[in-house]
Amino acid sequence: MRATILIILAIALMVLDKRFAAITELRACLSMCLAPVQYLVSWPVQLIDNVGQLMSTHDALIKENLDLKAHDLLLQAEVQRFVAVESENNQLKALLRSSAQIQGKMEIAQLLAVDSDPLVHQVVLDKGSSDKVYVGQPVLDAGGVMGQVIQVGLTTSRVLLINDPKSGIPVQNTRNGIRAIAMGDGYTGQLRLMNIAQTADIHPGDVFVTSGLGENYPEGYPVGRVISVLHDPGYSFATIKLVPNAHLDQGRQVLLVWPNRMVGVSKARV
C-alpha cells in the first residue's frame, strides 16, 4: 500500500518536473542542502591537481609564462583591431537606425569535479545565486558556447550543455547567414541541425555561431563546425551534424556572461 502511494507520488513529481517546471524551488532547496557533498567530492580532486602544479619545475613555469605573454600580446593586438571594427559597426547600425549591441559583463567560474548521470550532459559550477547567477544564463569557454544555467542554488549552479538532447540553440551560418536550431544529438556528444531543407547551402567545414534570436544567448559566439551533411531522399530534411567548438568534456574554467539586452545606440556610444 505504502509502495503504491510512493510510486504514484514519484510519477506525479516527474510529470510536474517535465511538463510544468512547478517544483523548481523544491529542487533548488534540496540542491542547496546537498551542495556540501558536491564540494566534499570536488575538493580533494582539485587539491591533487593543485599539488601537481606545485611540483612543476621553475624552468617549465618560466617557459609557460613567456609563452603566455607572447599569446597575450597577440590577443591584445587582435582586440585593438576589434575595438575599431566594433565602433565602426555600431556607427553603421546607427545609420541603419537599428539597435547597437555592447559587450555584457563576464566572470570566470570553476567547474566542480563531480560527475552527473551519464544519461544527461550537465556540469556543476561553483557559483550560485549569491554571485547573481540566474536560470537561463549563457555559459562560454575559450572555444565557444558551452550551454546555459538550468538550476541555481546558493553556491552552486547546474549547466545544461549544448549537446544534451534537451538543449536547443538558435544558430546562424557565418558563410551565408542561413539560420537554424541546433539540438543535442542523443548520446554522441554532437549537435544536429533541425528542419534544414535538402537544398540548403550548407557544407562540411561551415562554422555556425549564435544568432541571438532566442535572446538567451548573446549574438556571434561560435557554437559548432559542420562535419557531415547527409542528403537522404527518404527524409524531407537533410541530416546535418556539428561538432561543438567549446571543449565540453575537458577544462576547469568557464565564463559566465551577463549579456546586456539590446541597448539604444545613444547609450552604446558613451
Partner 1 sequence: MRNGLILTISFLLAFILTLLPMPEWAIWMRPAWVLLVVIYWNIAAPDQISIGAAWLLGLLLDVLSGTLFGEHALAMTIASYFVVKMHARIKMFPLVQQGLCILLVVLLYQFVIYCVQGFIHELPKTKLYWTSSLVSMLLWPWVVGVLRNLRYRVRMA
| Chain residues in the site for partner 1 (CB under 8 A) | 2-3, 6-7, 9-14, 16-18, 23, 26-27, 30-31, 34, 37-38, 40-41, 45, 113-120, 122, 158, 165-166, 186-187, 249
The backbone region for 182, taken as left when phi is positive above 0, alpha when psi lies in -120 to 50, beta otherwise, is: beta
Shortest distance in whole angstroms from residue 2 CB to partner 1? 6
Is 121 or 209 the residue whose CB approaches partner 1 more closely? Answer: 121
Is 19 or 81 the residue whose CB approaches partner 1 more closely? Answer: 19
Closest CA relative to residue 159, chosen from 178, 136, 179: 136
Shortest distance in whole angstroms from residue 140 CB to partner 1? 20
Shortest distance in whole angstroms from residue 53 CB to partner 1? 18
Is 193 or 209 the residue whose CB approaches partner 1 more closely? Answer: 193
Closest CA relative to residue 220, chosen from 21, 64, 48, 82: 82
Grid cell of 108 as nine digits? 570566470
Is 77 or 120 the residue whose CB approaches partner 1 more closely? Answer: 120
Shortest distance in whole angstroms from residue 194 CB to partner 1? 14
Shortest distance in whole angstroms from residue 124 CB to partner 1? 8
Shortest distance in whole angstroms from residue 36 CB to partner 1? 10
Is 8 or 79 the residue whose CB approaches partner 1 more closely? Answer: 8
Shortest distance in whole angstroms from residue 165 CB to partner 1? 5
Is 60 or 119 the residue whose CB approaches partner 1 more closely? Answer: 119
Is 165 or 214 the residue whose CB approaches partner 1 more closely? Answer: 165
